[in-house]
Structure 1
């Protein structure tokens, strides 16, 4: 489990294809603190550390993960939002995030609001995921509050700190992001659909 509070931004140093898998090596100051078998969120994707050096670590993405996330589009030099798994007994500053990406979305708008920037996203409504105003959403591993919700669109307001310390500062119209919808909302929607 994660909180959606990005700890660091890593850089993709190497990508190796092996069959349907991708082995991705990330350069990060977090590397020295990691161990093999730990879970780390990469743009909201929970991946297991399989190798570590003092300055890099490697994770493996399988076909299922590559097909449902933005991982297949990653390239050398790309930056990724990183968060280590949460420790029970500490503050939960974001919301409960599983690191299981539900689907991708595309950035469709950015508007400056004199102190924050509103980012709008559009996703495929066929997967029946929903947002609600004031509800939680995870965008590339960043825990956010929905400020405007449509059938297959939503907006979030990003403060300058988040813009500087996450990938939001690199987004432009058309950027593809990973979404994880609120787990409690997903259970409620599933129960209602079964009635």
Structure 2
């Protein structure tokens, strides 16, 4: 379990296919305090540490995970938002994040708004009912607040987020290039509510 508060930006030093995809990720974490088997969220994806060194750790990424996450994000040289798993007693500064990707979003626009950057992201139809104004969403593992929602004719949704300078500096949101995609995780409460509604409909 995570909070969506990013504590380091790692980069992929090596990526090799050995059954699953083995990644070696450079990190500023004190690796003495990271156990083999520990969970680290990598741009919103919960992965398990299988090897480590003084300034790096390795994870295995399954084909299923690769297929559900942003295309190309697991390539050598890519930067990743990192967050270690929540410990009992830690401050819950963001919201509850599981590290499971629900869908892929695409950047529609990014414009300056005061000192912040207003970004608009398109989310697929299956996620549209679970995204609400003033609700929480994890964007590449970052806990953010949805400021506005616009439903689209095709069933998809465009939602707006304001990125303050501190968030941009501490995460990969400092790079908002055209065509960028994001791993999206909806609020866990919305996920359970959606499942409850499905069960109720099937029981009718």
**Shared topology, TM-score over 0.5?**
yes
Q: For 2:166, which of 161, 164, 174 is the aligned residue? A: 161
Shift, 1:86, TM fit: 0.5
* Residue correspondences, number: 194
Q: RMSD over aligned Cα, in angstroms?
A: 1.4
Residues 74-132 of structure 1: per-residue CA shift (max 9 Å, x gap): 32211100000011122200000000111111111101001111111112214565200
Matched, 1:35 2:40: no
So what's the TM-score if we normalise by structure 1? 0.94
> 1:193 deviation in Å?
3.0
The 3-state SS of whatever aligns with 1:30 is coil
Q: Which residue of 2 aligns with 1:24?
A: 23
Residue deviations 1:126-178, cap 9 Å, x none?
A: 45652000000000000000001133221110000001110100122211110
Query: Equivalences for 1:1-195 in 2 at 5 Å?
Result: 1-19=1-19, 21-30=20-29, 32=31, 33-70=33-70, 72-126=72-126, 130-151=130-151, 152-195=157-200
| In structure 2, distance between residues paired with 1:72 and 1:174 | 13
Kindly tell me: are residues 53 and 129 of structure 1, through their superposed partners in 2, closer, same or farther at Cα, counting changes over 3 Å? farther
Q: What secondary structure sits across from 1:125 in the alignment?
A: coil
User: In structure 1, how many angstroms separate the alpha carbons of the residues matched to 2:189 and 2:122?
Assistant: 21
**Is this contact kept in 2: 1:31–1:53, CA < 8 A?**
no
TM-score (normalizing by structure 2) = 0.90
The structure whose Rg is larger is 2
Counterpart CA distance in 1 for 2:82 and 2:196 is: 32
Quickly say closer, same or farther: Cα 1:16–1:31, change in 2 above 3 A: farther
Contact 1:139 1:180 in 2 (8 A): yes
